[in-house]
Amino acid sequence: MRSALPAWPAAALAALALAVPLAGTFPVAASRALPAPESAPQPRQPDPRERHLANIRMLTDGGENAEAYFSFDGRRLIYQATKPGSGCDQIYTMNVDGSDQRLVSTGKGRTTCAFFYPDGQSIVYGSTHLASPECPPKPGFERGYVWPIYAGYDIFRARADGSGLERLTSTPGYDAEATIGPDGRIVFTSVRDGDMELYSMNGDGSDVRRLTRRPGPDGGAFFSADGRSIVFRGRTLTKGPELEDYRSLLKAELWRPTALEVFVMNRDGSGLRQVTSLGAASFAPYFHPDGRRIIFSSNRDDPRGRNFDLYLIGIDGQGLERVTYDATFDGFPMFSPDGKRLVFASNRWSAREGDTNVFIADWVE
């Protein structure tokens, strides 16, 4: 999945192909509303250095909440969260003011990376619930700091209330990190061919096409507003110990976080070019609606590499600008379709250490 709490994102979790027909339908109950969240802490005095952000509001309160993405009409958000007392991440929706929070995934297994279809009537997300209804176990530390690549992730489509669940992928290997373009085309990450690569497919799971072909962890992709370009995070690995370690871990369903950069390419995978060269863990990039700028999260300004902030950069790699300055994690940014608001995840203002919440702010040019 793209999410990473409290440190940074696990960009890959692998899937186990099961003997279930492609696009098979599963009986899943419709969404259910959650109790209203507790009163959020009062906002702190705005940091004058965060000049692009005004009227910052905290939309969730407690647990680990991240990867909140706007519907195409800008009225709803879909996000993943491990709520207090729950086992692991599930998918929820809410209004952009934080009201009407609803569970829309099965409540089983672990889920990740949800997105609305353009018509707002359907959603897509990754889930391990077919492999097991339990939360998959966390890896040990025998091989150092690694992220799990769980056997069990596949991509599913459902109605916006969570009912009518359909399986879209069923190949061996990780299938997740699905997002959708304005024409309904899905881009996602898969290890079906032995490496973390980007693929696209129709909204019903048909016409799968491979987009990237290089060793390394490519993933976390999003379409531009016009659907012509794709932005993603990745790292090109060449022959040597790092590539050998990467491939060895991948076979063990693990991945070791390392430096990542931001890349863009055409929607068919052509015209690949690197945007950042920061030598840091830069991830979760998203296009500004104008198509000329990209916002992303990076730890480039923390010598210890622990704190992440948001940055803005031109698609030509010029004009890097820091957006957030909080002493805690800021990540997973997304502009509203009209570019007037920014939603992101942060540890700021948390009532409990380690909590990550969804925030929304007015965007100031």
CATH (domain of 191):
2.120.10.30
Residue with the larger pLDDT of the pair 21 and 226 = 226
Residue 41 lies in a domain: no
Higher-confidence residue: 354 or 31? 354
pLDDT-based confidence at residue 31 (cuts at 50, 70, 90): low
The CA distance from 315 to 319, in Å, is 9
pLDDT digits (tens, 9 = 90+) for 101-120: 999 999 999 999 999 999 99
The fraction of the chain above a pLDDT of 90, given in percent, is 75
The pLDDT of residue 87:
84
Is residue 132, in this structure, part of any structural domain at all? yes
Q: How many domains does the chain have?
A: 1
Among candidates 225, 204, 105, which has minimal Cα distance to 160?
105
C-alpha dist (Å) from residue 356 to 67, 155, 306, 328: 11, 25, 15, 10
Q: Please tell me the predicted confidence (pLDDT) of residue 159.
A: 98
Q: Nearest CA to 311 among 341, 276, 336?
A: 276
Decide if 136 is inside a domain.
yes
Q: What is the pTM of this model?
A: 0.89
Q: Say if 8 falls within a structural domain.
A: no
In a domain, 113, yes or no: yes
The encoded tokens of residue 350 equal 């948390």
Q: Which residues contact 321 (CB under 8 A, 6 or more apart)?
A: 311, 312, 313
Tell me what pLDDT residue 36 has.
Answer: 58
The number of angstroms, rounded, from the C-alpha of 58 to the middle of its chain's C-alpha atoms is: 19
Residue 165 in this model has a pLDDT that exceeds 70: yes
Q: Which of 104-113, 137-146, 245-254 has the weakest average pLDDT?
A: 137-146
For residues 27 and 83, the model is more confident at 83
Least confident of 42-46, 133-137, 295-299, 320-324: 42-46
pLDDT surpasses 70 at 75: yes
The token pair at 27 is 């009986």
| Per-residue pLDDT reduced to its tens digit, 279-336 | 999 999 999 999 999 999 999 999 888 899 999 999 999 999 999 999 999 999 999 9
What confidence score (pLDDT) does residue 215 get? Answer: 94
**Domain span at residue 357?**
25-36+49-363
pLDDT at 23 over 60: no
Mean pLDDT over 224-241 rounds to 96
In angstroms, what CA-CA distances link 242 with 194, 282, 292, 336?
16, 18, 33, 38
Under 8 Å between Cβ of 80 and 3? yes
Mean pLDDT of the chain: 88
On the question of pLDDT at 226 being above 50, the answer is yes
Q: What is the mean pLDDT of residues 111-138?
A: 95
Q: For residue 18, tell me if it sits in a domain.
A: no
Q: What distance in Å separates the CA atoms of residue 9 and residue 6, rounded to the nearest whole number? A: 9
Band the pLDDT of 137: cuts 50, 70, 90: confident
Both tokens assigned to 89: 């991440």
218 or 304, greater pLDDT:
218
Percent of the chain with pLDDT over 70: 88
Question: Which two structure tokens, joined as six digits, stand for 86?
Answer: 């729950």
Q: DSSP character for 156?
A: E
Q: What's the distance, Cα to Cα, between the start and end of the chain in Å?
A: 31
Cα distance between residue 147 and residue 60, in whole Å: 26
Residue 14 lies in a domain: no
Tell me, yes or no, whether 6 lies in a domain. Answer: no
